[in-house]
Amino acid sequence: MSEVLLSARGCSYVYPDGGFRLDDVSLDVHAGEVLALVGPNGSGKSTLVRVMSGFYTPDGGMVLLDGRPIHRMPRRKLARELAFLPQEIPAAFRFSVREVVAMGRFPYQSAFGFVSAEDAAVVQQVMEETGTTGLADRVFSTLSGGEKQRVLVAGVLAQQPRVVLLDEPTAALDIHHQADVLDLLWRLSRKGIGVVTVTHDLNAASQFCDRLALLSRGRLVRVGRPAEVIDQDLLCNAYGADVRVLENPLTAGPLVLVPGEAAHESR
């Protein structure tokens, strides 16, 4: 497989209140792949992505970018190589879309942050890539959920990172916009960027991602291609639910369904 960009080595993290711990997780992210972190609520997906982005410092283990521990790198330098899009983004004040995307240039700017010709060119380019050029002069806080997410991805790309980590980028989107954003991530990965995304949607993950990492109760249960991870017994165990795996007629990949009580009733 291609070059390892980002690597979690035996990472543990305990929240200050001691309520949840991430336990000894090791995971590699390769250049040019989309890796989905999946698992039930409270399994540690968001915690892991925060540790791997440098937002949380692990209590044990370390995160390496090209073999260098990221928690010892200067923050701005790290931000030029690794970008993180958190799940909840407030939108205070009436910043325009172009301004929001240009904020992604922060790690390259000097103290006062005047926008250089190079900054402007990068902003223009990432807006074209994400199909947000037409929104440039709109006020960010007035956009729809799908538009906002594309603009935020553009802002993250303006950092020109080699690895992008996203925490549930499609959580609030309808199926059309979800596919839009996942397609966008897939295209980025083909350019050599390593993409890590947290998602709840196992079917979308199987369809759009190269590899899946299944977490349960703070531990990494299995990593591999969708067909290796989407296993009926494994998922039943991890989610503590009656999960069925069928064949997806569209892709011949796995299709995950949870029958629930209603399905039993209608039989």
Residues that bind another protein (CB under 8 A): 16, 53-55, 74-80, 83-86, 88-100, 102-104, 106-107, 109, 111-115, 119-120, 136-137, 139, 141-142, 156, 159
Closer residue to another protein (CB): 109 or 232: 109
Distance (Å, rounded) from C-alpha 224 to C-alpha 56? 25
Closer residue to another protein (CB): 11 or 85: 85
What is the SS3 string spanning the chain?
CCCEEEEEEEEEEECCCCCCEEEEEEEEEECCCEEEEECCCCCCHHHHHHHHHCCCCCCEEEEEECCEEHHHCCHHHHHCCEEEECCCCCCCCCCEHHHHHHHHHHHHCCCCCCCCHHHHHHHHHHHHHCCCHHHCCCEHHHCCHHHHHHHHHHHHHCCCCCEEEEECCCCCCCHHHHHHHHHHHHHHHHCCCEEEEECCCHHHHHHHCCEEEEEECCEEEEEECHHHHCCHHHHHHHHCCCCEEEECCCCCCEEEECCHHHHHHHC
Task: Quote the least distance from Cβ 120 to another protein, whole Å.
Answer: 6
- Six token digits for residue 55: 């937002």
Closer residue to another protein (CB): 11 or 220: 11
**Is the torsion defined by CA of 173, 179, 181, 182 positive or negative?**
positive
Task: Quote the least distance from Cβ 53 to another protein, whole Å.
Answer: 6
Closer residue to another protein (CB): 113 or 240: 113
Task: Quote the least distance from Cβ 56 to another protein, whole Å.
Answer: 9
Task: Quote the least distance from Cβ 111 to another protein, whole Å.
Answer: 6
Q: What are the residues facing 32 on neighbouring strands?
A: none
Task: Quote the least distance from Cβ 38 to another protein, whole Å.
Answer: 21
Closer residue to another protein (CB): 83 or 204: 83
Closer residue to another protein (CB): 13 or 84: 84
Task: Quote the least distance from Cβ 217 to another protein, whole Å.
Answer: 24
Amino acid at 30: H
Task: Quote the least distance from Cβ 95 to another protein, whole Å.
Answer: 5
Amino acid at 28: D
Closer residue to another protein (CB): 130 or 206: 130
